[in-house]
Amino acid sequence: MASVPPSLMDFTRECLSQGVDRTEIRQALIDAGWTEREAAAALGSFAESPLPVPVPKKRVSSGPRAAFLHLLALFLLYMAAFSTGAILFLTIDVFIKDPANRNFFNIGGLARFNAAVLIASLPVLALVRRAIMRDVARNPANRIAPVVRTLAYITLLITSLIMVCDMVVVLAGFLNGDLTLTFILKSVVVLLLAGGTFLWYISGLAFEEKMGDSQEEISSLQESRWRPRLAWAGFLTASLSLVLALWIAGNPFNQRLVRLDKQRVSDLRSLQGAISRFHKKEKRLPESLSELKSSPDSYVERTLDAITETPYVYKQIDKTSYRLGAVFDLPTPTDDDSGARGKDGFYQHDAGLQTFDLNVK
């Protein structure tokens, strides 16, 4: 039920205490500029009673439990929405290659992170919503509790700003001639996610607009038929995004092997730098990798594979050329863009023993 200004409450209470008919009070308030809804809210604050003084109705309030549940549900909804949008963005980048769009982050890593967010947030959100609906079943007046309306209006503000900013960005891109298919699809994703959240919360506020004078009338209010469908559409979209994220991220059981191969690449690069420093100082190549530890200038921490504990391959070819190698578990992932930055060639490799012929010059 909507809050009533103190002046309106005082006037209504005084009129009722003097026996003025409710219809006359309502008409007087409307004639004075108050809306029909405000007049009804003021009169609805007092119960009809044979007592000579007005009897105030119990106002709908929310305790710590309701505040906790609704705040948690809102936070989890934000997490799920942002992760869903991030995954859909990554999917668009994977399927539609834009030469002007350079990815400075690991796509697989981002997909795994957002998939973890969805896996953690969606079940908890479902449980929290179930607890909220169980409380509403016991006390339907909780649907119009102040904390519910406050959080709903905050969400409406946030989603409205997001949708307006999204439209501004699209229009700016159109005027600048920068509209691409990737840009348009990402804008549509933002609009749909923000718009769906906006519709969900604004439809929930219909219970305040349909306020009644009794608990029974509040209980009789029915949700819009499309509201449950909107909830299912959001759940299916998040589930589809989770599937896409797991597809982009690849087999999770291979990720440890990928990290180990990257560590081997890093070790080989460190060895290459140490050999170059050793040659610059000694004017020769080391006889073995262990000789690199004889000088602070060429010291390198690891000359062995950290997992198999076998020495990295090293063989001198001539006075300035040598061969380095390691045994890799997997080929270089196809989505690894590090090869464009690596000039030593260690980024690109197949599975098994791989050697690289290098020159100190």
**Paired strand residues for 316:** 322
> What pLDDT does 209 receive?
57
pTM listed for this prediction: 0.66
Cα end-to-end span (Å), the chain: 81
* Region of poorest pLDDT, from 106-110, 207-211, 235-239, 282-286: 207-211
pLDDT single digits (tens) 157-202: 999 998 888 888 878 877 776 678 888 888 899 999 999 999 888 8
Determine the average pLDDT of the residues in 136-163.
81
Taking only the tens place, the pLDDT of each residue in 28-39 is 988 888 888 778
Which residues have C-beta within 8 Å of that of residue 80, sequence separation ≥ 6?
A: 117, 118, 121, 122, 125, 238
In whole angstroms, what separates CA 330 from the centre of its chain?
Answer: 31
For residue 87, CA distances in Å to 11, 78, 91, 178, 186 come to 56, 14, 6, 23, 11
Domain ranges of the chain: 6-56, 64-250, 253-359
- Name the range with the highest mean pLDDT among 55-59, 63-67, 75-79: 75-79
Q: What is the pLDDT of residues 301-334, one digit of tens each?
A: 888 888 888 899 999 998 889 999 999 988 887 6
**Residues 102-136: tens digit of each pLDDT:** 555 677 788 889 999 999 999 999 999 999 888 87
What average pLDDT does the structure give for the chain? 81
